[in-house]
Amino acid sequence: MSLFDKFQPIIEIRAELEKAGVMPFGAVTEKILSPTEAIVNGHKVILAGTNNYLGLTFDPECIAAAKQAVEEQGTGTTGSRMANGTFAEHVKLEQELAAFFDRKHSIVFSTGYAATMGMGSTLAGPGDVILMDADSHASIYDGVRLGGADMVRFRHNDTADLEKRLRRLGERAANTLIIVEGIYSMMGDQAPLKEIAAIKREYGGMLMVDEAHSLGMLGAHGRGVAEAAGVEDDVDFVVGTFSKSLGATGGYCVSNHPELEAVRFAIRSYIFTASPSPSVIASTRVALRLMQERPQLRERLWENAHRLHAGLKRLGLQVSPQVSPVVAVTIKNRDQAIAWWNELLQRGAYVNLVMPPASPTRDSLLRCSVSAAHSIEQVDRIVEAFAALQTSAAVG
């Protein structure tokens, strides 16, 4: 036996892709031209798989703030928040996040992965129960495993299954942490948070919602699915990332529970990793402000989402069941998915190729994500690229 034996399936898939001249897992972005265009693997493409939902990565105010922070505070903090890595700007961002979410407490993490994993691994431990949606992100799964709590999965977005499993827990339900996502990253569907909140109120426990893919796009203020569903008071912890709508890196947790300040000092992914660099914090603070000042970005994002979803659906493709800025096309045949991904790239559209086990089913996905920065013409060109695939397949 070798340590590498368990990687053989991956090695075989990689060899198969290399033979076909396709490297979707290592696609190199050689030059960024704008928030929506780049040179990828030698092709000029529309970026339709970046999660840059509000298109703020090139905003002049964000860039200026990042430049100033580098000049005044250097390129990095060189330490964790517990050591020398807490700068005044980290504290200000925490205060601004708390105010934005209308919560009393906030923690800023180095990545969204660290935030979700850290909270999942720290809030519940041995003897506790975590009840999580089966389609939860890898960071949630990793956190649950690290924490040692009893993990119970309920069927994706199935509130009847959630209630059944809580009922079976009996008295232990009161010591249960329920974890769901606002918008799920692969298919773009939303959690039925109104129903989940009602079940939580009946059985007890706490609720953590990962709003990574819904920050800035739902709710009157852009706070996510919980705000849109009117159940923010029922959500004990909101976690998320700065790497989507805010165009940076980092993560957060906000809560009204004063105990969060004590939990902060037990989160290993917080106390044992370097804090975010000053430039990242600076651009994130500006992006958070701009997100609130420019509601038209959210409106434009949803116009593009509806346009792309409708366009792909008209082609007869199997698209995500719910309209969102994430629009996934399901491809039953893996070889076809690989070939189509490569052809889309050549036709000027970069999307994400998602294959099992990363996809939520046994099928492969061509996952698209739109941005407020996409023009109507660019969205139409993405649809045209998919239409050309069908024409090519019919001729072939």
The strand pair at 237-241 and 349-350 is best described as unpaired
Q: Residues for the chain: how many in total?
A: 396
Q: What is the largest CA-CA distance in the chain?
A: 64
Query: What would the DSSP string read from start to end of 307-330?
Result: HHHHHHHHTT--B-SS-SSEEEEE
Distances (CA, A) of 328 to 55, 194, 211, 225, 260: 20, 25, 19, 19, 36
Q: Respond yes or no: is residue 244 known to be catalytic.
A: yes
| Cis-peptide, bond into residue 278, ω within 30° of zero | no
Amino acid at 248: A
The C-alpha angle with vertex 105 and arms to 103 and 111, in degrees rounded to 5, equals 105
Residue 254 and residue 106 in contact, taking contact as beta carbons nearer than 8 Å: yes
Which of 185, 243, 277, 364 is catalytic? The answer is 185
Phi first, then psi: give them for residue 228, nearest 5 degrees.
-60, -35
Residue 328 and residue 320 in contact, taking contact as beta carbons nearer than 8 Å: yes
- 3 state SS of 135: coil
Distances (CA, A) of 297 to 147, 249, 301, 345: 38, 20, 6, 27
Neighbours of 47 (CB within 10 A): 26
Give helix then strand counts, H and E, for the chain.
Answer: 14, 14
From 222, 272, 239, 275, select the one nearest 78 (Cα to Cα): 275
First to last CA, the chain: 45
From 272, 273, 274, 266, select the one nearest 147 (Cα to Cα): 266
Q: Respond yes or no: is residue 104 known to be catalytic.
A: no
Which of 213, 320, 371, 374 is catalytic? The answer is 213
Which of 200, 244, 309, 374 is catalytic? The answer is 244
Q: CA-CA distance, 147 to 145, in Å (whole number)?
A: 6
Half-sphere exposure of 180 (CA within 13 A, CB side): 28
Catalytic (active-site) positions: 185, 213, 244
